[in-house]
Amino acid sequence: MELSLYFKSIVDQDQCPVVICDLDHQIIYMNPGAKVRYANRGGAELLGKSLMECHSAGSREMIKKVLAWFQESRDHNIIYTSRNEKENKDVYMVALRDDEGELIGYYEKHEYRNRDTGEFYQFV
């Protein structure tokens, strides 16, 4: 079985939104969490559109700066971009690279800091 199917399944099962863009800022993939999270902005209809259309001029400029930084070095792969106190989360941009280390795109990573209050191994 192709390994990419396993990776896609990992991303699809993540409850945090994952939006993957190519180097032209086109949204090429959204996991189910992202489609729900961004439903008020179009949800799945955002696929194939430019991420830049979803951001302010200031944010667009920062995205361009991050992409340039990713391109400077193969060691530049993740950068902290924002903190959302209301949701108790940190947000990062993460470089995506091919097998040779060339930049092929990027995605936004959400890290929620709330402790999970569910019961361990609660089978439903």
More confident residue, 1 or 92: 92
Domains and CATH numbers, the chain: 3-112 (3.30.450.20)
Question: pTM (2 decimals)?
Answer: 0.89
**Residue 124 and residue 93: Cα distance in Å, rounded?**
34
For 49-100, write each residue's pLDDT tens digit: 999 998 999 999 999 999 999 999 999 999 999 999 999 999 999 999 999 9
CA atoms within 13 A on the CB side of 71: 9
Residue 81: the pLDDT is 95
CB 98 within 8 A of CB 104: yes
Give 55's DSSP letter: S
Whether pLDDT at 1 is above 70? no
Residue 17: the pLDDT is 95
Whether pLDDT at 122 is above 70? yes
Instruction: Quickly list H helices, 1-124.
Output: 3-13, 32-37, 57-72
Residue 2: the pLDDT is 86
Residue 48: the pLDDT is 97
For 99-117, write each residue's pLDDT tens digit: 999 999 999 999 999 888 9
